[in-house]
Amino acid sequence: MTVLEATRRALDSGPVCDACLGRLFADRSFGLSNHERGRGLRVALALADDEDFEGHDPAEETDCWVCEGECDRYDWWATQAATAAHGYAFDTYQVGTRTLPLLEENDRLLRADAGLDPEAGELLKSEFNREVGKRVGQMTDSEVDFTRPDVLFLCDLATEEIDLQVNSTFLYGRYRKRERDIPQTEWPCRDCNGTGRQHGKRCDGCDGTGYRYDESVEQLTAPVVREALDGSSATFHGAGREDVDARMLGTGRPFVIEVDEPRRRTVDTEDLEAEIDDFAEGKVEVEGLRFATHEMVERVKELPASKTYRMDVRLGAPVERERFGSALEKLDGATIEQETPQRVSHRRAAKTRVREVYDVSGELEEEADGQEATIEVHGEGGLYVKELISSDDGRTEPSLAGLLGVEAAVTALDVLAVEGEDEPFAREAFFRE
């Protein structure tokens, strides 16, 4: 069947607008809109039949039995979309359409009436997305993005409403925690499950606050970022976490703060760093803030990372310096087998973990009778360093306590560095301008 024969059959089915007619042949003669194709087909048909051409009146497109006039409302829908996004900053967008089942069925019937394949040309929904999207881009000076746009407009033809989805924005950086007894994220009280009340009374475990700790790294950083970007909420994602009683010093720990429904997507990151540091009052400080893609969240959460620790250690009995040095040499480069530590057994699966110690150094304190030491350990991600020292009743082998034959315990712990095992955390592909 020729194009003109199919066109004639389509027009015999009833009143059809230029866009619906041209959509049947959208895979031909690129560079034309479906509306232009439809009008061209009418002209070609008039020439073939040597008939006077009666120009198609766009005002009659509301009579189209296929789209029922929706193809004449692209400008209206684009205006509705731009209005729905008023007040939100965005550089990229995407348009989707929730069509009526009746219109989709009409679209299929037109192809059948024209004697064409059910998938011929272009579907009504695809044209709607493209034509409305093209106009939205022009109205808002933004670019279409089919992967993860800043905003998504869903045109609901049944309700004649725009459902606006504002995607999150992400800020990557590193934090240092300069005080102990601050968890990374909010820590609800286990006694009252975060309610602040127990048995009808104020919970004694949290003094009615609902939290075991008054502050967290998240609470000292995320609210500032949320306010700066005017978002509805913010979530903190860390590259692992240090113990509550440990400080995070040195190069800091990578993190991403995810801001939901931001009205702003740009901010001076140096000024924001200063605002966070002021808000945290020296307890937490951040550096290297950069806007990142959403892939950075999983990268920060899942990438294996080596860590460097500095520990103050108390020994159960005096130890000679030579014996202490020999024990450290045996741990240096050792493969460690660790059963799940008793202190985390309530939240970690019971299994044996095998981890590598990359480097160990340390020294006994001169004025502590050989019972106190400072030790630095660089180890594979997932290495329990407190148990590397204490042995955890023999659940970690080898250990400093086991090699020395005396009890050993970490009295203070600082994390000095968190770095990716296979490559740096910060690759340009994970950031945006």
Domain 305-420 sits in CATH at: 3.30.70.3190
Q: Under CATH, to which class is 3-166 assigned?
A: alpha beta
Q: What pLDDT score was predicted for residue 427?
A: 63
Task: For residues 346-375, give the mean pLDDT.
Answer: 89
- Integer angstrom CA distances of residue 169 from 33, 90, 151, 193, 371: 35, 10, 11, 31, 51
pLDDT digits (tens, 9 = 90+) for 59-92: 555 689 999 999 999 999 999 999 999 999 999 9
pLDDT digits (tens, 9 = 90+) for 304-360: 789 999 999 999 999 999 999 999 999 999 999 999 999 887 777 888 999 999 999
Kind and range of the H or E element at 219? helix 217-229
Q: What pLDDT score was predicted for residue 303?
A: 75
Task: For residues 223-235, give the mean pLDDT.
Answer: 97
> What is the 8-class DSSP label of residue 369?
T
Rounded distance, CA 210 to CA 188, Å? 6
- The matching CATH number, chosen from 3.30.360.10, 3.30.70.270, 3.30.70.2510, 3.10.28.10, for 169-302 is 3.30.70.2510
In this prediction, residue 191 has a pLDDT band, given cuts at 50, 70 and 90, of confident
* Residue in 18, 107, 150, 243 annotated catalytic: 243
278 is catalytic: no
Q: Does 27 score more than 60 pLDDT?
A: yes
Q: Does 244 score more than 90 pLDDT?
A: yes
Domains 169-302 and 305-420 share a fold: yes
Q: Which of 413, 411, 404, 409 is nearest to 318 (CA)?
A: 404
In this prediction, residue 49 has a pLDDT band, given cuts at 50, 70 and 90, of confident
Mean confidence (pLDDT) of the chain? 92
pLDDT digits (tens, 9 = 90+) for 394-412: 999 999 999 999 999 999 9
Rounded distance, CA 196 to CA 201, Å? 9
Task: For residues 10-22, give the mean pLDDT.
Answer: 95
Q: Does 175 score more than 90 pLDDT?
A: yes
Every domain of the chain and the residues it spans = 3-166, 169-302, 305-420
Where on the phi/psi map is residue 365: left (φ > 0), alpha (ψ -120 to 50), or beta? beta
